[in-house]
Amino acid sequence: MNYSNPTQLQAAILDWAGTVVDFGSFAPTQIFVEAFAEFDVQVSIEEARGPMGMGKWDHIRTLCDVPEIAERYRKVFGRTPTDDDVTAIYNRFMPLQIEKIAVHSALIPGALDTLTGLRQDGLKIGSCSGYPKVVMDKVVELAAQNGYVADHVVATDETPNGRPWPAQALANVIALGIDDVAACVKVDDTVPGILEGRRAGMWTVALVCSGNALGLTWEGYRALSAEKLESERQRIHALFAGSRPHYLIDTINELPEVVADINRRLAKGEMPQAS
């Protein structure tokens, strides 16, 4: 038995918020701000967006390690936040997130038609998220009401390590019966999500405008002048540079062209690990 490179993609592994639902990735961001506020610690929306893509406990831990936020916490509690303090914030975050997830549950405009087309071209649709399962169950339910059902879903607490580790992406490979990681493309709006795909040996596509990095509503994005949009693209491209995505596109609606290009590259013998 001999190894041969895959000649076309078999699956797209998609993030959720900022990728398929919740244009601008507002659902988790606002709740981080509210959860910290319940402990009388101010965190800005911009600060809350910083570690986006990680599991939510890790996200809170990372925020608590930001010197300015740690100092605000110390002024209230007389100490910098411990892991127990992080867990206390997380335990307040979770019910708030579940309560308000429906507010930002709309599919990204055009996403459903795009994914229908990819499925018609033979791709399976896997998915993973920085949300834990208790939140993902609600996200999945709401998405189904809007017509989107992924072939597989992996929450951040269903593997030993969340992003930027590759476990969630690889769990999709196993569940979907994909025979080669190079036949998968990971699509995400965050650096940890792109690193996840890279470390899993997949092709990677970073979403520049629909998610956390731009942080605008669909209407806000559409209202940007051409000059401002190009300036924001350049800024966000620089943010993603260290994670080395194979492609950067505005939204998931440009994914079919990327899939076609990856298939051309695979047919020529190119592999994601080599680029």
Q: What is the pLDDT of residues 47-93, one digit of tens each?
A: 998 888 888 999 999 999 999 999 999 999 999 999 999 999 999 99
Catalytic residues: 15, 56
Q: Which of 245, 184, 185, 235 is nearest to 209 (CA)?
A: 235
What mean pLDDT is predicted for residues 125-138? 94
Average pLDDT over the chain, rounded to whole? 96
Does the annotation list 15 as a binding residue?
Answer: yes
What mean pLDDT is predicted for residues 238-242? 98
- Global confidence as pTM: 0.90
Does the annotation list 22 as a binding residue?
Answer: no
Model confidence at 100, pLDDT cuts 50, 70, 90, reads: confident
Contacts of 154 (CB under 8 A, 6+ apart): 126, 127, 128, 129, 168, 171, 172, 175
> Distance (Å, rounded) from C-alpha 224 to C-alpha 239?
20
Q: How far is CA 118 from the centre of its chain?
A: 19
Q: Which of 145, 172, 155, 164 is nearest to 12 (CA)?
A: 172
Domains of the chain: 11-26+104-274 (3.40.50.1000), 27-103 (1.10.150.240)
